[in-house]
Structure 1
Amino acid sequence: MDLLCDAYSNSSDEDEEEEKEKPKRQKFSHSFSNPPKPYLPSPSPPSNLHTQALIPGSYVSKRQRASMASITTPHSVPLSSSSFTLSGSISDADIPHNIVALLKSKANGHKNLNLVPDKLSATLSGHTRAVNAIHWSSTHAHLLASAGMDNTICIWNVWSRDKKKACVLNFHNAAVKDVKWSQQGHFMISCGYDCTSRLVDVEKGMETQVFREDQMVGVIKFHPDNSNLFLSGGSKGHIKLWDIRTGKVVHNYNRNLGSILDVEFTMNGKQFISSSDVSGSNISENSIIVWDVARQVPLSNQVYVEAYTCPCVRRHPFDPVFVAQSNGNYIAIFGTTSPYRLNKYKRYENHGVSGFPIKCNFNLDGKKLASGSSDGSIYLYDYQSSKVLKKIKAFDQACLDIAFHPVMPNVIASCSWDGSILVFE
């Protein structure tokens, strides 16, 4: 930003100023200490150039609009080789024919819904620090995305005969906390400690939009019925609903919460569930809140009365229930209709959480629930009985996230605190 300020310091000759701006724009810094802004600061008064930034919805003077129009925004800055590294291919051309057939035939894949993953299928190595989240692409189901504490996102071509790590994205300036594929082709959104959510066209290797906040962003979730909308939750307890088409916030959901750990839409998309950190207050109120999406109001904040933080919430794919991973070392289950009651007679136990951000997920038909564990294992539960079907020892350190494949029901991916990713079938 200092470079942009220098560009505005001499205003006597517009042509000379324009010539000075050109080379400085090419040096635009993306360092964490001075991240790029979505808008340029007001050129007047000069003494406040470092602190004044345009606020969405505020009045913009003609002078400001003119200056904004004359400067290339960060979105159109040519990508450097350090932002996108292509090491393999995202095409399915190099995948064995039997795998391609399964990926393209959902009906055939669903014949094996009762199978339990037990064999290691792929080991994916590339992250140098903990992997926080993984997510399969539903439209290109051979691709898996992973978000790491090493500031990178890796795209894996899991069954490729050649290089399984297809590409590495380095658009974030700090640790990446979450990543989600869109239902629209190769688009993907991610968020992290650099206070941004970023939309990327993976096929083109281009960052297409940056959504900036005044908080570290820990979780994102696309709306189930409209992929132009997504929720973001962050360290200051603020939850925002964004519209990708305008790049602006549609709704704000604020209630003096602790850090937002997870968000999940209900099946109809009219409500969503949030979980927030209550460890600092020792008060269970607001640990889990059910929100009305349109009215921006909480429908209930007395859902979970035990004084435990829940790092993950997931709704069942068909039944009107959702589960919450609890730091009490169990998964609790609740109804998604008012009064959103806790089922006191059923919980999923035996795995450990121990303060790690351990996630859980349902399989395709909702008959199985899988959870990571602080002991490095994957626990597979029967949804109805809550009994452990299988325990898979996967890692030496905590297993943070698990993801059932969107097409092949007997395939599950997992990631670890040590930076490794394993796929079982």
Structure 2
Amino acid sequence: MLKTSIVGNSFNRYQLSFVFESVCERHIITRMELLQSYDVSSGESEEDNENVNNNKLKCEAEMKKGNVQEIQKDTNYFGIEHNSSYSDDSSCDGSNNKDGELEIGGLRVEIPDSDFWRELKAEDVKQIKSDASKILSHLPLEKSESSPAKWKQVGLNKNSQTVREQSSKETKLDYSSKSNETVSLQRKIFYIHSKIQPKMHTLSSNFPPEKLDRHIDAHGGVVNRVKWNVPSFSHLFLSTSMDSCVKIWNAFSAESACVRNLMHHGKAVKDAEWSHDGRSILSCSYDRSAVVTDVETGKQVCKLEHAGYVTCGKFNPVRRSQVVTGSTNSLQHWDIRTPHTACKNFQYHDDLGQMQDVLFTKDGNQFFSCSDMVTRDSADRNVMAWDFSSGVPLSNQIYQERYACVRLKLHPTSSHFLAQSHGRYVAIFSTSRPYKMVRSKRFEGHTLLGYSIGFDVSRDGSLVVSGSSDGRIHFYDYQTGKLKKQLTSGLDVCMDVMCHPVLASTVVCCSWDGGIRIFH
């Protein structure tokens, strides 16, 4: 087949190098498995030397007699079945013996005995040998364990595909480069965990957890926020810290819990938020920027530059490319597709102070903000309602007490939102006009002492969970407002706490000293 296709098309002899490359890929490499070992210094084994010497003696004898005899090959390297005999002018002229052998890295492979290959001239064979050397010379050589003077060809399987064999030492060092520079470990991050999948579509009653499940020494500084991912990927949660890092954790991993360490900020990271698909995050930092990062690749998608410290940010729940960030005396609307300039600045006739949190309603048409402004006449700026499209403030008389609010949460089942106040309680407000505070019920008993303590509401809305400056976690009944349980976390200051979006009675909390704990 090979001879007919080439001769019939009158190919040039020097074009045979291309043919030989294809033949090498199909046949030569698989036949190399038959060569178990050979000597480095001589390039061939003792058995090969004996075979070559015998072939030379036999050829010389044939040439002296002048008789051409049919020589059968024991090994058909190229996979070409043939029973052809040598011609008078090519029986032992070197093209089928010395010049007809390829020597690559000390390994010799003979050109097969066929009419097609016997017709090649010496120049053609040399050209083919040089082209084949380029193909095969890069194949890795591994030192044989049996003898230091023996070497074996590795990376060859039955399908002629190059596969490198790794030793156990190479496997351990697979994640570092030759210059010992650390390369991030590429692990599968986004999948539905076996613990999550059976309970994604069921709503279980939540109770305070009973025991510690995991303790993580997460950061070298204060951990400001911890947040679970969306329900589909809720085996993941993020943490932000004063050490300028945002870390992504796998809560149920038997390996290292940290799956990503994102270093896109130059100063402390105050807040971070998962996107709607759970594959990217918005992080807000004291380096006057907010960064959108692709978690799977760890690369920065866009950077939103601000004039002041960026301390909070949220994605619009409906318009998924729209973002609202809170900075010093300003709230800004951004589109991450055009990150160079803000789409809108939300204006107010007086200073707003340092924004602490932003919260959208479910339809995305309105949002609420809270700040740390505390003065004699600052009650109109503690909690404010805004129209997202027009940027007009809808109400500035929501919270009349002179305490700063540091966190806002939307209740999952009722038309209310909650705010963490420095008055040592969590207050309840209506999400519809006139946005009045529910004075008949509040959740009090924990302490803040000036810390920006976070809180959360369980998936079914039955529990309100808050951190505390004394290191405890407080669980309140939403219907009655009474304290159900105080859980000792073992942390110095419980800075933030969040309920799992799928698993009942599972919470994660973080501390002032950089630790993270998971309870269930």
Scaled to the shorter chain, the TM-score interval is 0.7 to 0.9
Q: Please report how far the alpha carbon of residue 158 of structure 1 lies from its aligned counterpart in structure 2 after TM superposition.
A: 1.3
The alignment partner of 1:217 has SS state of: coil
Q: How far apart are the structure 2 equivalents of 1:108 and 1:182?
A: 21
Q: What percentage of residue pairs aligned between the two structures are identical?
A: 35
Aligned to 2:222: 130
Question: Is the 2:189–2:259 contact (alpha carbons within 8 Å) kept by the matching residues of 1?
Answer: no
Q: How does 1:268-279 map to 2 (within 5 A)?
A: 268-279=363-374
Aligned to 1:117: 209
From the superposition, tell whether residues 390 and 109 of structure 1 become closer, same or farther in structure 2 (CA, over 3 Å): farther
Q: Are 1:103 and 2:201 counterparts?
A: no
Q: How far apart are the structure 2 equivalents of 1:85 and 1:418?
A: 28
Q: Are 1:332 and 2:427 counterparts?
A: yes
From the superposition, tell whether residues 281 and 129 of structure 1 become closer, same or farther in structure 2 (CA, over 3 Å): farther
Provide Cα deviations, 1:280-326, integer angstroms capped at 9, x if missing partner. 55632211101111121111111111100000111111211111111
Q: How far apart are the structure 1 equivalents of 2:506 and 2:375?
A: 38
AA in 2 matched with 1:208: V
Q: Please report how far the alpha carbon of residue 279 of structure 1 lies from its aligned counterpart in structure 2 after TM superposition.
A: 2.5
Question: Is the 1:182–1:222 contact (alpha carbons within 8 Å) kept by the matching residues of 2?
Answer: yes
* Stretch of structure 1 that moved more, 366-375 or 393-402: 393-402
From the superposition, tell whether residues 249 and 92 of structure 1 become closer, same or farther in structure 2 (CA, over 3 Å): closer
Provide Cα deviations, 1:3-33, integer angstroms capped at 9, x if missing partner. xxxxxxxxxxxxxxxxxxxxxxxxxxxxxxx
Q: How far apart are the structure 2 equivalents of 1:327 and 1:122?
A: 30
AA in 2 matched with 1:319: S
Aligned to 1:264: 359
Structure with larger RCO (C-alpha < 8 A, sep 6+): 1
From the superposition, tell whether residues 250 and 421 of structure 1 become closer, same or farther in structure 2 (CA, over 3 Å): same
Q: Please report how far the alpha carbon of residue 107 of structure 1 lies from its aligned counterpart in structure 2 after TM superposition.
A: 4.4
Aligned to 2:329: 237
AA in 2 matched with 1:158: A
Aligned to 2:463: 368
Q: Are 1:413 and 2:508 counterparts?
A: yes
The structure in which a higher percent of residues are strand is 1
The alignment partner of 1:105 has SS state of: helix
AA in 1 matched with 2:209: P
Q: How far apart are the structure 2 equivalents of 1:400 and 1:84?
A: 32
Q: Please report how far the alpha carbon of residue 348 of structure 1 lies from its aligned counterpart in structure 2 after TM superposition.
A: 0.3
From the superposition, tell whether residues 365 and 402 of structure 1 become closer, same or farther in structure 2 (CA, over 3 Å): same
Aligned to 2:236: 143
Aligned to 2:406: 311
Provide Cα deviations, 1:345-391, integer angstroms capped at 9, x if missing partner. 11101001111101111111111111111111111111110111211
Q: How far apart are the structure 1 equivalents of 2:472 and 2:518?
A: 13
The structure in which a higher percent of residues are helix is 2
Aligned to 2:343: 250
Q: Please report how far the alpha carbon of residue 87 of structure 1 lies from its aligned counterpart in structure 2 after TM superposition.
A: 5.1
Name the larger-Rg structure: 2
Question: Is the 2:509–2:518 contact (alpha carbons within 8 Å) kept by the matching residues of 1?
Answer: yes
The alignment partner of 2:196 has SS state of: helix
Q: Are 1:399 and 2:494 counterparts?
A: yes
From the superposition, tell whether residues 261 and 92 of structure 1 become closer, same or farther in structure 2 (CA, over 3 Å): closer
Aligned to 2:282: 189
The alignment partner of 1:198 has SS state of: strand
Q: Please report how far the alpha carbon of residue 115 of structure 1 lies from its aligned counterpart in structure 2 after TM superposition.
A: 3.0
Q: How does 1:31-180 map to 2 (within 5 A)?
A: 86=184, 89-91=187-189, 100-107=193-200, 110=203, 112-138=204-230, 139-180=232-273
Q: Are 1:350 and 2:481 counterparts?
A: no
Provide Cα deviations, 1:383-414, integer angstroms capped at 9, x if missing partner. 11011121111144221111111221221111
The alignment partner of 1:342 has SS state of: coil
What TM-score does the superposition give when structure 1 sets the normalisation length? 0.75
Q: 2:384 aligns with which of 289, 305, 313?
A: 289
Q: Please report how far the alpha carbon of residue 265 of structure 1 lies from its aligned counterpart in structure 2 after TM superposition.
A: 0.7
Question: Is the 2:499–2:508 contact (alpha carbons within 8 Å) kept by the matching residues of 1?
Answer: yes
Question: Is the 1:180–1:220 contact (alpha carbons within 8 Å) kept by the matching residues of 2?
Answer: yes
Q: How far apart are the structure 2 equivalents of 1:233 and 1:91?
A: 30
5+ residue gaps, structure 2: 1-178
Q: How far apart are the structure 1 equivalents of 2:490 and 2:422?
A: 20
Question: Is the 1:413–1:424 contact (alpha carbons within 8 Å) kept by the matching residues of 2?
Answer: yes
Q: How far apart are the structure 1 equivalents of 2:211 and 2:229?
A: 22
Q: How far apart are the structure 2 equivalents of 1:409 and 1:220?
A: 27
Q: How far apart are the structure 2 equivalents of 1:273 and 1:191?
A: 18
Provide Cα deviations, 1:228-276, integer angstroms capped at 9, x if missing partner. 1121101x22111211122242221132211101110112211111001
Q: Are 1:423 and 2:423 counterparts?
A: no
Q: Please report how far the alpha carbon of residue 126 of structure 1 lies from its aligned counterpart in structure 2 after TM superposition.
A: 2.5
From the superposition, tell whether residues 418 and 281 of structure 1 become closer, same or farther in structure 2 (CA, over 3 Å): farther
AA in 1 matched with 2:478: Y
Q: How far apart are the structure 1 equivalents of 2:363 and 2:269?
A: 29
Q: Are 1:380 and 2:475 counterparts?
A: yes
Q: How far apart are the structure 2 equivalents of 1:135 and 1:84?
A: 27
Question: Is the 1:402–1:412 contact (alpha carbons within 8 Å) kept by the matching residues of 2?
Answer: yes
5+ residue gaps, structure 1: 1-80, 94-98
Provide Cα deviations, 1:13-62, integer angstroms capped at 9, x if missing partner. xxxxxxxxxxxxxxxxxxxxxxxxxxxxxxxxxxxxxxxxxxxxxxxxxx
Aligned to 2:84: none
AA in 1 matched with 2:260: C
From the superposition, tell whether residues 85 and 157 of structure 1 become closer, same or farther in structure 2 (CA, over 3 Å): farther
Aligned to 1:74: none
Aligned to 2:11: none
Q: How far apart are the structure 1 equivalents of 2:460 and 2:413?
A: 8
Q: Please report how far the alpha carbon of residue 124 of structure 1 lies from its aligned counterpart in structure 2 after TM superposition.
A: 1.7
The alignment partner of 1:274 has SS state of: strand
What TM-score does the superposition give when structure 2 sets the normalisation length? 0.62
Q: How far apart are the structure 2 equivalents of 1:394 and 1:291?
A: 37
AA in 2 matched with 1:379: H
Question: Is the 2:206–2:458 contact (alpha carbons within 8 Å) kept by the matching residues of 1?
Answer: no
Aligned to 1:70: none
From the superposition, tell whether residues 352 and 87 of structure 1 become closer, same or farther in structure 2 (CA, over 3 Å): farther
